Every structure is written in C-alpha cells, then in structure tokens.
Structure 1
Amino acid sequence: YKAGSINASKIESALASLAKTIECARYSPEWSEKYNFSQIDCEVRGLLFVFNHDNQLQHDFYEFFNPPKPAKGRRDKAVNLEKIPLSAGQQIHIIDPFLINYMLAITNDMNDLIAKKEFPDEEYGFYYPQLTFHKVAVTEKYLPATIEVLSSPFMVIKHGAVYKFNRAKGIEEEVYPEGFVVYYNKKGNSDNEFFYLLDILSNYQILDGINKIRIRLAYREKDERILSHFQRGVEKYAHEYGLDEEAKKRLEDLDVKVVSTVKEFFSAEVISWEPK
C-alpha cells in the first residue's frame, strides 16, 4: 500500500476477513490435511502484514485504532474492533510498516556482520530462556523466531563461533567467538530503559562474562543521546547491585552500536506495470 491508501476502513476490512478465515481454518478438514502435518492439536492465528511501499506513512500505525485528538475539528475514523468477528482465545498479529523496517534493519546488520566474518552463516537462532519459554524444556540449540519475539522491545540471537579456512595451515581457525546479539527496538530516551534491559539480560543468565555480547540499537527514531543513556544505565545498574570492578568492567565493555534504519522503496510506476 502507498501511505494514502492505508486507512481505518481498509484495516478493519482486512482484520474482519482474517477473523473469518481463522474460524474456517479451525474446523476445516481440508485445511488440517494440507497444513497440520503432525496431526496434533494446533492453534490457528491470523497475521496482517501491512507494507507501505512508498515509505510515506509518518505516524504510528496504531493511531488508526486510537486517533489522536486534532487541534481543530473531529478525530479521524478509528478501526472499530467490535466489528471484528474474533472468537474468544483467537489471535491476530499485525506486522506494521515500522516493524517491517525494523526487521529490514536487523537483516541488513546481520548480513554486514556475516560479510565481516563476525557472525556465522548458519549456526544461530533466537534465544528463549528456559524460565520464559512456555515452561517447557527445549533441546534444540538454535530456535526460530516467534511473532511475539519479533514484535517485542528487544530480541536475543544466540550464535556459534565463526570459522575461516586457513589455506596455509590447511585447517579451520576460529576468527570470532560464540555469543549473543541483542537487538533493541525502543527509543532509548532514558537510562532506566537500559537499566531494565541489563536486569532482564542478567536474569537470562547471559551477562556472565563468558560469552561475547553485542547490543544493537535499532529503533527507527532513536534518542540523539541514546549512547549516553546506555552508559548511565550501566552506571546505575552497577551501583544498584553493588557490582565489583571486574563485573562493572564487563558491562562497560559490552559492544554497543547504533544500527541504521533500512527502508525499501518501490516505484509506483513500476508497480503499475507489474502483471496482476
């Protein structure tokens, strides 16, 4: 969609259609035969993917659900959730234009790290601590992302070591250690944000000084003092928990980088010529 064609009416219509589709899929033998390969109880959810191809949508997507009050005149029309025939327990997830740009930024950053031999081609996955992963023990080393993780304030990616073949020696050598990459998707306009981020990562038991940890700040509209706020968050965390100098230095040595926003642009003329 171009920015001008994204409106409350179209969103409401798409959500209503998705809700009906979920209901049909739940009780459809044909759907189950095609997609439920394991033939076990499963949950069917909906996903609304809204791509703004001209990148002209400036306001938060969720203002279509709760429009801000203008200085003059009436509020814009809002999506009427009462018209969405969603049954109790059913869910529809939304990937909005800003979330798409965030995922593009992550993909671009990971590709850059891979090119620099600072991230493996295959040995990586999304990290779910046992204390939060549905209270179920997971044996797989690397896991795919859930929609909840992709749309959360941050995500943790666990990766293996990076190796490069040394032709002179005829062996593979480790060129980058295993560790974690944390992608942060909030504005970063206070030290409290990073205090709580560090506290959560500590509860995840990855701030142990053993693994290499990189934090990538990938929000679309970052605070201009985001790195200063991060450093103050480190100081506050170290003081609050009485960390010794060694533990404090581990936090200060975290690899923190601001990630550039990535946007995809498509020509309206080219799109109009594409076969329908």
Structure 2
Amino acid sequence: MAETLNIASMATKISNQIFSMFMWQKRGPTDHNWNCVKKGEHGKETHPTDVVFFYDEPYRDVRTYFQTDLKSYQSGSIVRSKLEAAIRSLAEQISCAEVSEEYQKKYTHDHRTCEIIGMLFVYNHDDGYDREFSGVLKHLKLEALDIPRDRRIFVLGPMEIRWLHNVSHDIQWLRGSSEDDKLPGAEHCSYFYPQGDRGIQVLGSGRCAAILEVLTGPWIILRYRDEGSRHNGYIIYYRDDDASVDDFLYFIDYMRRYGMLADNDKIRIRYIENGAATASTFQSAQQQYAELVAKSLTDPDSLAAAVRKIVIEPVNSIATKFTDMQIGMEYAR
C-alpha cells in the first residue's frame, strides 16, 4: 500500500517541480472530490481534482485553469484503455466545472474571465517507455466526449514530461550557479511573447508564464531583466536535436524580427545533448546568416555581430527520475 502511494505521489512531485519553474500557480484544494451537477448524465456522485494550475494568457485577457489528472504509470501500463478512460473522465469533469458553483468558488477567481481546460499528465515513473506516444493517442476511440464547445484537453506524455523536467531542472541549476552569468531569480524573469505575433501582448512587460502551447512547441524563451546588475538576456531551450541549418536560419530570423538581437542582450541557446550535430549545425547557420546580412543590408555590422555572439551549449546536467523509495523517505521526514 505504501509503495502504491509513493508511486502516485511521483506525478504530484514532478508536476509541481516542472510547472513552478514555468510560473504556473496552483488554486484550491488538491486531491479533492467535488459534487457532480450532472448525475443523470455522468452516473456518479462526485468528480476528482488532483490539482488545478492556472496562468494568465499573454494575448487575451483570460485566466486559464487546468483541471489536472496526474497519472504515474510504469511503462507497461501506458495503454489505450487507460488513456481513453482518463480522457473521458476529464471531459466530464470540465463539463461539470463549467456550471458548478462549488467548483468555481474553490478553483477560479470571480474577478477574472476564466477558461477551464483539461490536462492529463502521464508520468512514466520507471523511465522505460520508449514507444511513440503520439501514435498511441492517434488510435484512441473518443467519440461523443461530453466536453463543452471550444474547450480542450491536453495530454502530456512521457517524452514531453521528460523534456520539461530537464528544462525546469536546468533553470533551477542556472539560478544556483556560482558563475557570473547565473540566471537571476524568478522576479526578474518572464517568458517571451513578441508583440504582433498573435496580437497585442496584453500583459506588457509583466511576468508571463510559459503557456502550454509554448511548452509543447519547438522552443521555450525565457527573458531576464535585472536592472540592478544590468544582467539582461535570453535563455532559449531548443527542443529539436535534429534541426537542420535551414531550421536554425529560420530561428535566427525569428529573433531578429522580434527585436531579440537589437539591444546587445546575451542570448544562450541550450539543448539536451543527444549527438554532436546540434552545435555545429547552429554555428553553420550563424555563419550563413551573417553572410546573408552582409549582402542585404547597408549597415550590417551590428546585426552580424549580434548573430555571432549567440551562444549554443548543452545543458549541464540531466534530471533523474524519482524512485518510490526516495519519495517514501521524503514523505516520512
């Protein structure tokens, strides 16, 4: 029984560690049941909430809440039937949460426009899952889900969680570094959303969380501004270790278009090192982009210099998986 509880606690612990680094916040009671208001349709008395995370959307005046189902599975237990059942249950939870006064009082803020989204967090606690998780999702049978119109359910699988765990671990490591260019504290950081990319960035220069669409995208950009020490710059986590020169040329141009190269800020691209190609491929793109700038602009020197100053480096350490014994010892303290 204790081992089962420890395994279940792994997803809780790792989700807290991950999302706190991405400036998500928690709202309301955890591991809590609330009354179903559609008993005739759902055939149950209550719905569970493991945890509700929230953040403010950068391009809309909306606060997004994640009704989250935390799963901790060994590799052989990540099967279609379990995923289908969890997603169907999440859909019913969202359907009820939309109209439940009890849920909204406990988990949302009445002064903000809210959007409730479902998130299934599938953590592989034995780190042995090596299949293509997206292929499993494609074969799920999810007809006639009871989910409100325009509402969504996200599924974070083992590989995405492993990636996000490593990124969050690296951010924590950089903040504790003794180097001169250590990352400042969270109060001096914000995730980067360019003006004009999807609309006007409504949060302005305030601290922005990394929204889920960013966390599941090709890169995560953390901007830091420490006026006291003039220690400004960007940390970019680049996910694709098979990126081509053209991929990096596109990304460098993205940085130029949205002003990241204009203020002489330090830019560091960090990646999980799975091979030797990533750094050399990026350096080839740097050289090509600088040459293109020299041919196309009348005053290319400053931009070319900014491109050449971009640093690419592997993360210093990889986050390790938890064990049920480790979790049990921590909870026994």
Q: In which range does the TM-score fall when normalised by the shorter chain?
A: 0.7 to 0.9
Could you say what secondary structure the match of 1:81 adopts? coil
Amino acid at match of 1:216: R
Aligned: 1:154 with 2:154: no
Structure 1: where are the runs of 5+ without partners? Answer: 67-77, 164-173
Is the aligned partner of 1:9 residue 2:73? Answer: no
The yes-or-no answer on 1:100 pairing with 2:155 is no
Q: CA deviation at 1:20?
A: 0.9
Specify the alignment match of 2:310 in structure 1: 254
2:202 to 137, 156, 173: 137
Alpha-carbon distance between aligned partners in 2 of 1:260 and 1:178, rounded to the nearest angstrom = 21
Correspondence 1:192-231 to 2 at 5 A: 192-218=246-272, 222-231=274-283
Paired position in structure 2 for 1:187: 241
Pairwise CA distance, 1:108:
2.3
1:238 aligns with 2:290: yes
What TM-score, normalized by structure 2, do the two folds share? 0.68
For residue 261 of structure 1, report the CA deviation from its aligned partner: 6.7
The number of residue pairs the alignment matches comes to 251
Instruction: Indicate conservation of the 8 Å contact 2:94/2:148, yes or no.
Output: no
Contact 2:189–2:223 at 8 Å: present in 1 too?
Answer: yes
Separation in 2 of the partners of 1:197 and 1:46? 31
- 4+ residue runs of structure 1 moved beyond 6 angstroms? 269-275
Partner of 1:121: 185
1:75 alignment counterpart: none
- Mapped to 2, the partners of 1:161 and 1:11 lie a distance apart of 44
Q: Deviations over 1:66-102 (max 9, x none)?
A: 4xxxxxxxxxxx2113254334311011222222222
Question: CA 1:40–1:227 in 2, change beyond 3 Å: closer, same or farther?
Answer: closer
Cα distance in 1 between the residues matched to 2:109 and 2:185:
29
Match of 2:170 in 1: 109
Q: How far 1:215 moved relative to its partner? A: 1.0
How far, CA to CA, are the matches of 1:12 and 1:101 in structure 2?
22
- CA shift at 1:232, angstroms? 1.7
Preserved CA contact (<8 Å) 1:12 1:84: no
Structure-1-length-normalised TM-score: 0.80
2:146 maps to amino acid: P
- After TM superposition, give the deviation of residue 29 of structure 1 in Å: 1.4
Q: Which residue of 2 aligns with 1:61?
A: 133
Query: Secondary structure of the equivalent of 1:43?
Result: strand
Deviation for aligned residue 1:139: 3.4
Counterpart among 64, 80, 84 of residue 141 in structure 2: 80
Go from structure 1 to structure 2 and tell me whether the alpha carbon gap of 1:206 and 1:20 turns closer, same or farther (over 3 Å shift). same
| Partners of 2:194 and 2:258 within 8 A in 1 | yes
- Provide the aligned C-alpha RMSD in A: 2.6
Q: Structure 1 residues 108 and 271 mapped into 2: Cα distance closer, same or farther (>3 Å)?
A: closer
Which piece of structure 1 moves more, 19-28 or 188-197?
188-197
Letter in 2 for 1:24: C
Tell me by how many angstroms 1:132 deviates.
3.0
Contact 2:290 2:304 in 1 (8 A): yes
> For 1:139 and 1:246, how far apart are their aligned partners in 2?
27
Q: What whole-Å deviation, never above 9, does each CA across 1:20-75 have from its counterpart, x for those lacking one?
A: 11111011111122222234432110011011011001122112124xxxxxxxxx
Q: Take 1:28 and 1:144, find their aligned partners in 2: how far apart are those partners?
A: 27
Q: Mark the CA change 1:85 to 1:262 in structure 2 (over 3 Å): closer, same or farther.
A: farther
> Distance in 2 between the 1:271 and 1:139 partners?
40
Q: Does 1:29 align with 2:101?
A: yes
Deviates more, 1:142-151 or 1:12-21: 142-151
Please state how far the C-alpha of 1:209 moved relative to its aligned partner.
Answer: 4.5
Distance 1:81 1:223, change over 3 A: farther
SS of the equivalent of 2:128 reads coil
The answer to which structure has the higher strand fraction is: 2
Aligned 8 A contact 1:189 1:223 in 2: no
Structure 1 residue 223: deviation in Å? 4.6
